[in-house]
Amino acid sequence: MFDVLVYLYEHYWRPDACPESGQLTRKLSAVGFEPDEISEALTWLDGLNALTQGTACLPAPNSIRVFVDAELDRLGPEALGFLHFLVGAGVLTPTLREVVLDRVLAVPRGPVALDDFKVLVLLVFWSLGEEPDALILDELFVDDEDRLIH
């Protein structure tokens, strides 16, 4: 599923640039993705679209978040730490935090690896037509072992 999501991010600069579902499925299949991967990714994206375009009940800007066991299990310690980093840095508002958490819970398997979690966060911004600032993009894209330290 994550490979399909990364492919979509790399090849379509906005979600509305993607072809309709049937044509997109055929394109992804022609590229070599498996039908179950495609189905999971498109279902996940449909849920993301419903959240970002809908008027769901969202938290107040200064709310405090308490995680339930299912969320902690699905996140895992590394993704949870990175989520706290993004919220603390002001990159994720409480509303975006809830969108990210909803999409983490929508992943068929867990816990979500840190690299996969970063893809989910990136796709949330992508779905809104936004791009995080350069330093956050660096955190989302560059592996720690590839990072140059001055």
Determine if the pTM surpasses 0.85.
Answer: no
Both tokens of 139, joined, read 């955190």
**Residue-range definition of the domain harbouring residue 67:** 2-146
- Higher per-residue confidence, 140 vs 28: 28
- Do 4 and 33 meet the contact criterion of CB atoms below 8 Å apart? yes
Q: What is the pLDDT of residues 68-122, one digit of tens each?
A: 999 999 999 999 999 999 998 888 888 889 999 999 999 988 799 999 999 999 9
pLDDT of residue 150: 43
Residues in the chain: 150
pLDDT of residue 112: 93
Give phi and psi for 130, each to the nearest 5.
Answer: -115, 160
- Higher per-residue confidence, 55 vs 1: 1
Local structure of 105: helix, strand or coil? helix
pLDDT of residue 105: 93
Residue 31: in which H helix or E strand, if any?
helix 21-31
d(CA 28, CA 113): 24
Both tokens of 72, joined, read 């902690």
pLDDT of residue 149: 45
Q: What is the pLDDT of residues 138-150, one digit of tens each?
A: 666 655 554 344 4
For residue 146, give the amino acid letter: D
- Residue 139 has a CB neighbour count (10 Å cut-off) of 18
Q: What is the pLDDT of residues 53-63, one digit of tens each?
A: 764 556 666 77
pLDDT at 29 over 90: yes
At which residue do the structure tokens 């066991």 appear?
69
Number of domains the chain is built from: 1
